[in-house]
Amino acid sequence: MPAEICTQQYIEPRATAPLATVAAAPDAVNEKNSLPPSPSESKKSFNMNKLCRQVSIESPGAQVKNCVFNFFVPIEDTPEQGARIKIVCAGACYRRRDRSASITSMSSVSSDLSDYCPSITSQSSPAHAGVREGSFFPGFEVAGVIESLGSKVTEENNSGLRIGQRVIVYPFDEAPAGYAELLVVPDLKYVVPIPDSLPITVAAMLPTGALLAMNAVFKAQEVVTEMLKKRPTEEANKKCKILIVGTGGLALWAVRIASYHFASTGANNYIDVTVASLRDEGFRLATEIKNVSVVQWNECLYEPQLIERTKNVCGGPVDVVIDFGTTSRSLHRSMHCLNKGGVVLISDEVAEKLLPKFSRLSVEYQQQIIPISTGTVEQLRELVDLVADKKIEPPPHSVFPCEQAAEVIQKLCNSEIPGRAILRFHDVE
């Protein structure tokens, strides 16, 4: 089904600017309405001399079917010490980390517009009057080329960056939600160059998903190292068991990074890795990785059967779980697969929602639930080098022109695309 494209003209917002809305018909647009100002706009003023397109993609809902929305928003001038990036590719599925749902989730997305106006938290989506199922804003996981550098950037302080250079952007705190043709970066420390050997489509997967997976693997090794120090002498040669839950982009990155990292550091001598797959396609992809056991979490089975099956594949309860499932059910299951004194690592994005629910259970089981942040810009630079040098192979991914965005979202919601989906907005290669 071809994408239906609705365009809304940006109007400079007032303090009481109404929400942009779309009528019941997919192609009906009220051009008199506009988005409220973003938090960054409400906090400080910039010179905004240029408009650029920002894209929101909505999956089927109560009122709109497969609709791609284009908003024209002002883009600020290049900061004196920063850069402005022309976006080439954006990883689908990923959204701002301060939203309520998982950054890899394709459903149950919060419909509030707090990204645009903090005081408006109960209003509906610009497109829907209710919950936006599967909607996302590509743009938080991007790769592109430097369009311009700030007026105070010189040869001495440009960090080796130049106009026209291919780069990715570290997800800094005030990174805007939503793909726009241009992305303003306030400081060059957030801009990471990518070598010619790294395809820009692969680079677009690194700043959020792959980086979070890398940080989780590093934290898991730290936890295991501390556990080994406390083990009694008679258990010194017993391997620690790590379970990675989920086979979306995060888990597929995590198992690849873990395989390389543990082998390169010698940790594979005392760590066994198992992947708990959440769907058939992920199960197949996970089984292709060497020295990794795989157990399928078939939701048709009763919970005790799944837990018992997982323990059997792992050779008993595990010591650490890296849980990318992001739901209460997944975390509850992970904790039942853990040893007494075990640790579950979850994204700090979902920790605020899940920790209060499981604090009592974690105390009862004498287990820890530790939130994991996205990672550092230094880790992102290291990850770029490892992937560029082919020491870590990226998960399967498919590239689609942005004009096919609506079809891509529908396929993602139906798990019809193996691995990751990348949207290409410009062709520079």
Give the whole-angstrom CA distance, residue 207 versus residue 214.
11
Mean pLDDT (whole number) for 237-260 = 88
Q: What's the pLDDT at 327?
A: 83
Q: How confident is the model at residue 407 (pLDDT cuts 50, 70, 90)?
A: confident
| Percent of the chain whose predicted confidence (pLDDT) is above 90 | 41
The rounded mean pLDDT for the chain is: 75
Residue 279: per-residue pLDDT: 66
Task: Please give the average per-residue pLDDT across 375-391, as a whole number.
Answer: 96
The answer to whether residue 315 scores a pLDDT higher than 80 is yes
b/e code 230-239 from CB counts within 10 Å (16+ = b): eeeeeeeeee
pLDDT at 302: 85
Instruction: Locate 104 and state its tokens.
Output: 């890899």
Euclidean distance between CA atoms 246 and 326, whole angstroms: 9
pLDDT score of 144 more than 90: yes
Closest CA to 3 of 53, 82, 56, 81: 56
pLDDT at 313: 92
**Rounded mean pLDDT of 12-19?**
31
Per-residue confidence band for 292, with pLDDT thresholds at 50, 70 and 90? confident
SS (H, E, C) 108-147: CECCCCCCCCCCCCCCCCCCCCCCECCCECCCCCEEEEEE
**Superfamily per CATH, domain 48-95+131-205+394-424:** Medium-chain alcohol dehydrogenases, catalytic domain (3.90.180.10)
Q: Provide the pairing of β-strand 67-75 with 179-180.
A: unpaired
State the pLDDT confidence band at 211, using cuts at 50, 70 and 90.
Answer: very high
* Alpha-carbon dihedral sign for residues 385, 419, 428, 9: negative
Tell me whether strands 338-347 and 318-323 are parallel, antiparallel or unpaired.
parallel
**242 pLDDT exceeds 60?**
yes
CA distance 122 to 57: 20
CA neighbor of 245 nearest in space, from 357, 317, 331: 331
Does residue 220 carry a pLDDT above 90? yes
For 51-81, the pLDDT digits (tens) are 776 666 554 454 545 456 667 777 788 999 9
Residue 213 has a pLDDT of 94
How many Å apart are CA 273 and CA 131, to the nearest integer? 38
Q: For 208-219, what is the mean pLDDT?
A: 94
Domain locations in the chain? 48-95+131-205+394-424, 210-372
Tell me the average pLDDT across 197-213: 93
Please tell me the least confidently modeled range out of 43-52, 309-318, 328-337, 380-389: 43-52
The closest alpha carbon to 188, from 208, 159, 162, belongs to: 159
Per-residue model confidence (pLDDT) at position 280: 60
CATH for 210-372, options being 3.40.50.720, 2.60.120.10, 3.40.50.1450, 1.10.3980.10: 3.40.50.720
How many other C-beta atoms can be found within 10 angstroms of the C-beta atom of residue 13? 18
- Digit-coded pLDDT (tens) for 28-56: 333 333 344 444 444 444 455 677 766 66
Residue 228 predicted with pLDDT over 70:
yes
**Residue-level pLDDT at 124:** 35
Give tens-digit pLDDT for 89-136.
Answer: 888 753 433 443 333 333 222 222 222 222 323 333 333 333 333 334
Provide the pLDDT for residue 12. 40
What proportion of the chain, given as a percentage, has pLDDT over 70? 68
Looking at residue 101, its pLDDT comes to 37
> Quick one: pLDDT band at residue 425, thresholds 50, 70, 90?
confident
Beta bridge partners of 184: 84
Question: How do residues 156-186 score in pLDDT, each as one tens digit?
Answer: 999 999 999 999 999 888 776 556 678 889 9
